[in-house]
Every structure is written in C-alpha cells, then in structure tokens.
C-alpha cells in the first residue's frame, strides 16, 4: 500500500467524520489559545526584526545585546522635538547675515509657544514630558550634588596640566593662581577653596558641559532645554532661539497603526503657531519644527503597513472572488474558497503567534500573498470534479497531486526559515503553515460541503476546458517554424541581456519604509544635537574598568592624532567621540594628577599662609570612582557607556558622531591597533550577513531545482523535466527582469525565486499528471491568475523589500504560467 493510499484511508475512515472532528477540535483550540496573546501583543512594527540577532561572534552574546540596546536606547522610547525660532531683519537679509539675536520680549513669546506646543502634545495623556536632568549652577546652589566624591585634584582639564607643572616650579605663579581662584566672584567653587584652591574642578566641569550641544535653562519655575547654535558664543539665555522637547508617547500608541502620534504633533504645531501669531511681541518670528525618534518612525511605519495590509488584502480578496465567481458561477463556491483560505491563514497565524510570542506587521502584509497561493487547492477541488464521481473518490484521485503541490509550496516558503533573520522565520512559519492548513481544510472538509458546490460548469469554465486542452506544445516540429523560433529567440536574448545587467546588493536599505521627510528630520537632529551614530561604535574591553579606560583613552588619542591636518586622515577631524574616559580618568592617571596638584599647592602654600593666615588642604588620597559619578547629575551622561563592570571584567562602548563613509577604513584600522578594541559597524555587518545568506539561498535554489527534477523523474519518468523546467525558466526570467529594470538582486529576490520554484513545480505537477485534461488546464490557468494578482499587488508595497519580492514573483510567474502548458507532455 502506497503512502498516499494510507493517508486516503485515514481520511475516509468512518466517512471522514473522525478526521473532520479532529481538525475542528485542533482549530478551535488554536484560535482560543491565540486570541488572548493577540490582544496582548498584536503587532511588532520594527522592520529591524528582519535582521540577524548576532553581529560579531567574538563578542559574548549578552554583551553584544547590551551594546545594541544601549546604542539605540537613547531614542527608543521617546520623541525628540526641536522648535527653532528665528527673525531676519531687512538689513540682515540684504547682507546675507544670520538672523539677529532675539530680544527679551521675543524670547518670552518664544517660550510661550514652546509651552503651548508641549501642552497640546500632552492633551489626553497621549504624550508625557520626559523629566529634564540638567546641571545649571547658580552660585553655590547644588554644589554638593554636582561634584562626585573625591573629585578634588582628580578631574582636571588637560589644558591645566601645563599650568600646574609650571606652578610647581614657580611659587609666585602658584600663589597668583590660587588667589585668582579665591577672589573670582563668578566662580562657584564647587568643591570649596580649601580642597580645590586652583578651581580646577570648576573649569573641568564647565568645560565638559559647555562642549554639549544643549544646556538647561530655568525661567521662573519652568525648566527648558536650549540648543546651542553652531559656533555660538553669546552667554545670555535671552538671545537663544532653539528649544528641545523630549516626549514619551503612551504605551502601545505608536504601534496602533492609526498614526495618532503624527496627527497630534501636527495639531500641536498648529496650536503653537497660533499662539505665536497672537503674541504682539512675536512679530516677524518664524517657527520650524523638526521631529524624530523611534516612536515616530514606528507610528509612521505602522500606519503605512496597516493601510497596505487592508488595501492589498482587500483588493486581492476581491480579485480572487471575482475570478472565482466568473469561473464557478455561484457565490457559495466563492465563499467556500475564501473560507478555506481564511481558516488556513488564521490557523497559521495562531501557531506563529504562539510560537514567536509576537509577529511583525510586515509579516502579515507578506501573508496576504497566501490568498493567491492557498486558493489553488480549493480551485482544483471544485474545478476537477467529474459528473460520475463522488467527493470521496475525487479526494483519493487528487490526493497525491495536491499533497505534492502543497508540500513543494510549503518547502519553498520554508527556505525563509533557514536564514538567521527573525522576521523571515516568522514569514516562513506563517506562509508555510497557511498553505498546509488550507490544504488540510480542503481535503478534510471538502466532501462535507460538496452539496453547496455548483452542479454544472459555467460557460467560461467550459470554454476554458475546451480551448486549453488543445493548447499547442513545444516539440521538435514546432521549433522549425519561424513564428515559434522568433519569439523564443527574443525571449532567450532578453534573458541573456537581463542577466548580464543584473547587479547584487545586500538589501539592507530595502527594509526601511519610513517617510523621506522623517528620515531627513532624523539626519538634521543627528547633526544639530551631535547625537551618536546608531550604526557605528567601538567596543572596548579589559580585565577591569581601569584597563578598559586606559585602552579607550589610547584609542581616542590615536584618533585625534590621525585627525590632525598634517596626518594621513584629516577627514577624521570632523569625527566627534564620546566615551567614559573623557569623564573618568584611570586611577593611575588620577594619582599622577593629584601628585601634580599637591606639588603646585606646596609651592604656593607658604606665601598664602603668610598672607591669609591659612593654607589650602588640597585633594585627598582617594580616586573618583564610576559609582561616585552615578551619584551626581552627570549620571545620565556617563552610565550608557558601561556595558559591564564586575569581577569578571569590564566592557565599554565608545560612541561616534559625524561618521562618514570615508572614515570607516581608518576607524577599522584604529581598532585593530589597540588591544581589547573592536569597531562595530552595524550597517556593514548586517549587509555582509544579508549578502552571505543571499548567496546561500541561491545555492539552495540551484540544489532544490535538481532535487525536484529527480523527484519528478521518479514520479513521471523521463519526462519529469517538463514539470520543473518552466519553474527554472521563470526564475531566470525574474532575475533578468530585475536586471533590465535596474533592480539589484538581494536576499529578498533570492527568497522570491525559491517561492517561484515551488509555485512553478505545483503547476508542472498537475499538467504533467493530466496533460490532456481541459479541467486541469483551466484550474492551473485560474490559479496562475489569482497568484499573479496577489503578488502583483505586493509589488506596490512601500516597503522596498516586499515590493522587490512581489516584482520578482510577478515577472517569473508570467513566464511559468505561459511555459507550463507549452512544455506539458503528451497524454
């Protein structure tokens, strides 16, 4: 007894009731278990879920995970909004000068507009303001909390080191410097004169904070974040006109797919403009709003994907329904076909959701292609009925072809699961599961709904059955005709031309579907706020924190030397670096600096003792620790640099800003010169990984073609090549079409080609098994149309990866659809 006969016997047991009850029970349990999970976490909207989880195997997985989380955490849960106000006088415009500084009255009007914007954003709790953590200093207020423990003599600017060396050798210079610190009224003396008689910490602290592109400013009882202009030197807060709002959206709103955040920001901007226009002190002022942040990208992408899901799914369903109605003539048949696909899709979605915990929204958009693929099985079920054959006999007759076709399609989808990309694994589970679940629904429940099927064929189906059964074949005699040779010559010429123009690309950019204006705004804020690059950074490790700090300091010194105008890489001068070593020297360096400070104090202390009757105490004997920095307002600026700090070792990340492509080789080279330092270029690593797996998938595709050829030879004998050659031609045609259209071949192109192979073999199986049967030809004709409709709509997706996938399938499927009947064997 054959394998297919055993399956048929199981399905026929007790007239199929046992199988039907079992499948119904499984479906009910699946739906019941998945609904709560769906309501809890409906969609994951981050397209980066399509990317691999590991980038560098030499870095321990927990540290790499912490590295990536910290690299993206700054903007992961908040929206960054920059409100810029400017005024140009007619004289400024004539001279081409920048906008004049704002007056006090104008600044008041500006702050009113900022308040109005923030108020409108926070209406209904859609946004909440992120608390400002700043370090404005007025006199001695807050001095104790600003300085870390043991800061005296340990945190010193490099520029002050030469002064200390000179003061240690010149008592008069030491005395003058200490008296200058004591007498300066504008110096807050954060550590007190006795501990820090040279005001070294004051200069270090204000030098560090002055280098930041923003600062905290207090007006009344409100705190604002003012953004410094490039090259700004003025000191008065009243002359500054750019303010930053950090807002955190309510949980789950960004992923809703409704675009609430974008709409609310537009409303807030309109409200702020009205407030500005109504204020007489704001005459001539203009306001520019720049917004960025992960939640805003999520909001835009989710809204776009949700719209695509509804549009593509609706159009594909309507198209399939219209074609089914024309072919079968009864709305009940159409409903049965749609119901089988819906149940299969729902079952697959339930299994995927339970297995992965959450599903990417792009997975559901991709899943709409199932409408055109899974409907094939119900199409064959209704199209291949014979007048003198009951439903159970038909199931036994069609079982082997349907199972082989469904298995090949599921296997083609399943190749996506062989990649290291989480999102593609989700697509594989959803699509392959949907195909198999729909096939199971058709085979198990088909005989029970037979009474609802049409009794007679429609006129269209009869005409297709008659005409398609007599379609010509390509044989030796046909190949001698010019009318056949010319189209074939054109086709193969186009193949050669297209394949010769085909280029390859990683496809990393194809994953982005964010609006161009949002991408531009993000780039503007990256530059204006000197935000660290989310794609490149250094990973620095050591046996302990001191060793890691020393290695990072040596790296930064090397980069600075290379950026010198006389060096080999002057373009590195535009690179901005930020790391913990810029805030915390090693304990060895601190010990050296304390000794230098004490030497300078000792040189000038006798004169100061005689003049004031007292001498400064100077720094103590302890070094500043990382834990001490975390107890100060500096904590938000330093804590994200540390990935690990325990008895097993330390790991730091050094962030970079202003990275350009020409810098990358020097950055990679600098990392190789220093022990314990690695340069992680996330974009490059992801591109490399995608390229590797693109190559692997094409290799699997070639191997799969020959494996299927062998299987078809076992099934159909020496003519088995006729079942697989159309699929091979379709794959080549899809690649050639990409070459002609100038679309690079990416991993997503390769995956589409694998699916083409599975779909093409489906059609080859049916036509090779029933080459003279007009009903089979009509069913294949209908299935090809529905599949092309589904994937053709996907080609219009705003996500380039999905659009490329759809274009490849559409181009290849047209060739398969035409070639399969031409290459079918004789009956």
Say how far residue 325 (Cα) sits from the centre of its chain: 41
Nearest Cα to Cα of residue 230 among 77, 84, 45: 84
Q: What is the mean pLDDT of residues 723-747?
A: 92
Instruction: Look at phi and psi of residue 657 and say left if phi exceeds 0, alpha if psi is from -120 to 50, else beta.
Output: beta
Q: Which of 23-32, 85-94, 137-146, 412-421 has the lowest mean pLDDT?
A: 137-146
> pLDDT digit string (tens) for 625-652?
999 988 888 887 888 899 989 889 999 9
Q: Average pLDDT, stretch 111-128?
A: 89
Three-state secondary structure call for residue 787: helix
Tokens representing 356 are 């992965």
**Whole-number Å distance between alpha carbons of 585 and 594:** 12
Q: Which of these ranges, 94-108, 132-146, 512-526, 696-710, has the smallest mean pLDDT?
A: 132-146
- 685's tokens: 């690593």
Question: What pLDDT score does 98 carry?
Answer: 46
Above 50 in pLDDT, residue 231? no
- Residue burial 267-282, b: 16+ Cβ < 10 Å; e: rest: ebbebbbebbeebebb
- Name the pLDDT band for 456 (thresholds 50, 70, 90): low
Alpha-carbon distance of 696 to 625, in angstroms, equals 49
The rounded mean pLDDT for the chain is 81
Q: How far is CA 253 from the centre of its chain?
A: 18
Average pLDDT over residues 746-764: 84
pLDDT tier for residue 703 given thresholds of 50, 70 and 90: confident
Q: What is the CA radius of gyration of the chain?
A: 35
Nearest to 642 by CA among 683, 555, 581, 685: 581
Place 145 in a pLDDT band, splitting at 50, 70 and 90.
low
Q: What tokens appear for 153 in the block? A: 């003599």
Q: Any idea which residue has 């299935």 for tokens?
A: 783
How far apart CA 264 and CA 246 sit, in angstroms, is: 15
| pLDDT for 51 | 57
Inter-axis angle of helices 587-612 and 171-183, nearest 10:
80
Which pairs count as long-range contacts for 185-190, CB under 8 Å and 24+ apart, including other chains?
Answer: 188/137, 188/139, 188/140, 188/143, 189/140, 189/143, 190/137, 190/143, 190/146, 190/147
Least confident of 39-43, 156-160, 161-165, 190-194: 39-43
DSSP-derived letter for residue 798 is S
Quote the pLDDT of residue 373.
72
Band of residue 620 on the pLDDT scale cut at 50, 70, 90: confident
CA 510 to chain centre: 10
- Cβ atoms 767, 824 nearer than 8 A: yes
Q: Where are the domains of the chain?
A: 3-50+298-511+686-822, 79-126+214-279, 140-211+600-623
pLDDT the model gives residue 101:
67
User: Which of 88, 93, 191 lies closest to 142 in space, CA to CA?
Assistant: 191
Give the pLDDT score at 96: 44
CA 151 to chain centre: 42
The DSSP 8-state label assigned to residue 139 in this structure reads T
Residue 450, Cβ neighbours under 10 Å: how many? 16
- Percentage of residues of the chain with pLDDT beyond 70: 87
Q: How many residues does the chain have?
A: 827
Q: Is residue 324 pLDDT above 90, yes or no?
A: no
- Give me the pLDDT at residue 52, please: 61
Express each pLDDT in 797-818 by its tens digit. Answer: 877 877 888 899 899 999 998 8
Burial 505-542 (b: 16+ CB within 10 A, else e): bbbbebbebbbeebeebbebbbebbebbbbbbbbbbbb
How confident is the model over 97-124, as a mean pLDDT?
Answer: 81
- Is 90 exceeded by the pLDDT of residue 33? no
pLDDT at 12: 75
**CA 57, 63, 67 angle in degrees (round to 5)?**
100
The pLDDT assigned to 9 comes to 75
Is 60 exceeded by the pLDDT of residue 93?
no
Give 234's pLDDT tier (boundaries 50, 70, 90). Answer: very low
Q: What's the pLDDT score for residue 368?
A: 62
Return the pLDDT at 273: 92
Q: How many CB atoms lie within 10 A of CB 185?
A: 6
230 has a pLDDT exceeding 80? no
d(CA 49, CA 424): 9
Helix 747-769 vs helix 682-716: crossing angle, to nearest 10: 10
Over residues 766-777, the pLDDT tens digits come to: 788 777 777 788
Work out the pLDDT band at 45, boundaries 50, 70, 90. Answer: low
How far is the C-alpha of 641 from the C-alpha of 643, rounded, in Å?
7
Please enumerate in sequence order all residues whose Cβ is within 8 A of that of 470, keeping only pairs 6 or more positions apart, or say none: none
- When pLDDT is averaged across residues 316-320 and rounded to a whole number, the result is 79
pLDDT greater than 90 at residue 311: no
Q: What is the pLDDT of residues 263-303, one digit of tens each?
A: 899 999 999 999 998 888 888 788 889 988 878 887 887 77
């Amino acid at each position: 007894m054959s394998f297919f006969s055993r399956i048929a016997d199981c399905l026929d047991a007790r007239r199929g009731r046992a199988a039907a009850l079992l499948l119904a029970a499984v479906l009910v349990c699946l739906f019941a278990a998945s609904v709560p999970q769906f309501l809890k976490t409906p969609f994951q909207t981050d397209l980066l879920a399509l990317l691999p989880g590991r980038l560098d195997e030499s870095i321990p997985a927990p540290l790499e995970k912490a590295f990536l989380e910290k690299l993206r955490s700054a903007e992961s849960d908040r929206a960054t909004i920059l409100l810029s106000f400017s005024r140009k006088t007619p004289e400024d415009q004539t001279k081409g000068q920048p906008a004049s500084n704002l007056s006090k009255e104008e600044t008041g009007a500006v702050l009113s507009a900022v308040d109005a914007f923030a108020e409108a954003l926070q209406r209904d709790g859609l946004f909440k303001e992120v608390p400002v953590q700043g370090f404005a200093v007025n006199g001695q207020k807050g001095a104790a909390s600003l300085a870390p423990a043991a800061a005296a003599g340990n945190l010193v600017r490099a520029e002050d080191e030469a002064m200390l060396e000179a003061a240690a050798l010149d008592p008069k210079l030491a005395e003058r410097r200490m008296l200058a610190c004591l007498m300066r009224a504008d110096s807050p003396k954060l550590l007190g004169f006795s501990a820090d008689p040279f005001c070294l910490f004051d200069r270090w602290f204000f030098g560090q904070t002055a280098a930041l592109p923003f600062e905290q400013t207090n007006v009344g009882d409100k705190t604002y974040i003012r953004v410094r202009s490039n090259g700004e030197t003025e000191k008065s807060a009243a002359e500054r006109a750019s303010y930053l709002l950090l807002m955190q959206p309510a949980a789950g709103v960004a992923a809703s797919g409704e675009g609430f955040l974008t709409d609310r920001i537009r409303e807030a901007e309109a409200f702020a403009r009205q407030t500005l226009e109504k204020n007489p002190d704001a005459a001539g002022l203009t306001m520019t709003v720049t917004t960025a942040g992960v939640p805003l990208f999520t909001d835009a992408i989710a809204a776009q994907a949700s719209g695509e899901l509804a549009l593509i799914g609706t159009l594909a369903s309507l198209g399939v329904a219209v074609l089914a109605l024309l072919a079968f003539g009864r709305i009940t048949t159409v409903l049965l076909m749609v119901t089988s696909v819906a149940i299969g899709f729902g079952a697959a979605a339930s299994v995927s959701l339970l297995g992965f915990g959450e599903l990417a929204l792009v997975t559901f958009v991709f899943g709409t292609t199932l409408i055109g693929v899974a409907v094939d099985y119900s199409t064959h079920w209704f199209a291949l009925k014979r007048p003198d054959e009951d439903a159970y006999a038909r199931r036994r007759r069609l079982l082997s072809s349907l199972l082989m076709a469904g298995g090949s399609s599921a296997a083609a989808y399943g190749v996506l699961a062989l990649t290291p990309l989480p999102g593609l694994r989700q697509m594989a589970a959803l699509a392959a599961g949907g195909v198999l679940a729909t096939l199971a629904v058709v085979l198990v429940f088909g005989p029970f709904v037979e009474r609802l099927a049409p009794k007679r064929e429609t006129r269209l189906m009869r005409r297709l059955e008659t005409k398609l059964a007599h379609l010509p074949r390509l044989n030796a005699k046909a190949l001698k005709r010019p009318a056949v040779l010319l189209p074939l010559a054109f086709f193969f010429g186009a193949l050669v031309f297209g394949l010769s123009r085909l280029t390859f690309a990683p496809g990393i950019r194809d994953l982005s579907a964010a609006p161009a204006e949002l991408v531009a705004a993000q780039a503007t804020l990256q530059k204006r706020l000197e935000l660290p690059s989310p794609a490149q950074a250094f990973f620095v490790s050591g046996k302990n924190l001191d060793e890691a700090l020393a290695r990072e300091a040596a790296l930064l010194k090397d980069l600075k030397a290379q950026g010198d105008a006389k060096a080999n890489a002057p373009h590195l001068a535009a690179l901005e670096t930020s790391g913990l070593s810029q805030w915390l020297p090693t304990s060895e360096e601190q010990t050296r600096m304390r000794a230098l400070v004490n030497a300078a104090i000792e040189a000038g202390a006798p004169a100061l003792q005689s003049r004031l009757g007292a001498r400064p105490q100077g720094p103590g004997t302890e070094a500043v620790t990382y834990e001490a920095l975390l107890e100060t307002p500096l904590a938000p600026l330093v804590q994200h640099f540390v990935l690990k700090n325990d008895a097993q070792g330390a790991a730091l990340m050094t962030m970079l800003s202003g990275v350009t492509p020409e810098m990358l080789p020097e950055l990679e080279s600098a990392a190789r010169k220093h022990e314990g330092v690695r340069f992680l270029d996330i974009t490059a690593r992801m591109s490399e990984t995608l390229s590797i797996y693109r190559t692997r998938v094409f290799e699997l595709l070639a191997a799969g073609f020959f494996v299927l050829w062998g299987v078809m030879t076992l099934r159909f004998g020496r003519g088995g090549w006729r079942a697989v050659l159309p699929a091979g031609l379709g794959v080549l045609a899809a690649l050639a079409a990409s070459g002609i259209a100038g679309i690079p071949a990416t991993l997503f192109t390769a995956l589409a080609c694998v699916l083409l192979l599975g779909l093409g073999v489906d059609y080859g199986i049916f036509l090779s098994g029933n080459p003279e049967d007009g009903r089979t030809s009509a069913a294949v004709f209908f299935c090809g149309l529905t599949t092309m409709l589904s994937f053709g709509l996907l080609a219009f997706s705003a996500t380039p990866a999905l659009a490329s996938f759809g274009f490849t399938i559409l181009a290849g499927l047209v060739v398969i659809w035409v070639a399969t009947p031409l290459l079918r064997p004789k009956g």
